[in-house]
Amino acid sequence: MLGEKSNVNFHWKMFLKNEYHKSYFIKLLNILRIEYNHFVCFPKQENIFSCFKYCSFKKLKVVIIGQDPYYKENQADGLCFSVSDGLPFPPSLKNIFTEVNNCLNNDKKNLYPTSGSLIHWAKQGVLLLNSILTVRKDYPLSHKNIGWEFFTDQIIRTISNRKKNIVFLLWGKYAQRKISLINSFHNHYILKTSHPSPFSAHMGFFGSKHFEKTNDFLKKIGKKTILWC
């Protein structure tokens, strides 16, 4: 069910396999079976764990935390803020690309990508983690409090405790509440600002230079930078 094993990178399996057998996760799977059988839900079942497929635990450098997937037709692809090839950019993603463009483009040209897929970020070591991994069509937060938050909090704790020098990009109040899960003794680099939503992007996200600051930190610790553009 849900391809939880097939869509998880090998290095994640050793940390996540115990979760699959816990009572809360078994209950979560039962709820999802009902939801996917009776309603249209996103992302597609085979893409629910895509963030763990494309970003390996071994190569992980950066964590971006979202809330729940896009709830419109076939937008969600399993990576927070990302959409499948060929789809229009949702407003938050458009603002993310605007900040990348303004932050890293010295020529100040409008170098926007042709695709809204962020798989190329994930493959470089960026974990694009929604706190809630599924949603019912047209009903945002419809899968809140069914078990996903407990699961993804465990992911954040695992990263925080087992890795060092990880960049955590916490955009908006919801993501910033996760700061208590981050181990303060492992030299993680935490950057906070407003959410890239049109309602709040002008309250700090634009001009935050998070993408530049992330690469500066990675250079400082001797890691390869992220090609954001």
Task: Tell me how far apart the alpha carbons of residues 122 and 128 are, in angstroms, rounded to a whole number.
Answer: 7
Strands of the sheet containing 126-130, edge to edge, are 126-130, 62-66, 167-171, 189-193
- Active-site pick, 68, 77, 85, 107: 68
Q: For residue 206, give the nearest of 84, 52, 76, 92 by alpha carbon.
A: 92
Which residues, including other chains, have CB under 8 Å from residue 203's CB and lie 6 or more apart?
194
Which residues, including other chains, have CB under 8 Å from residue 22's CB and lie 6 or more apart?
none
In 80-223, alpha helices (H): 91-104, 119-122, 148-162, 173-176, 210-220
Which residues, including other chains, have CB under 8 Å from residue 99's CB and lie 6 or more apart?
196, 201, 205, 206, 207, 208, 210, 211
Active site residue 68: yes
Q: For residue 172, give the nearest of 135, 140, 142, 197 by alpha carbon.
A: 197
Task: Tell me how far apart the alpha carbons of residues 212 and 228 are, in angstroms, rounded to a whole number.
Answer: 9
Q: For residue 71, give the nearest of 117, 139, 129 by alpha carbon.
A: 139
Residues tagged active-site: 68
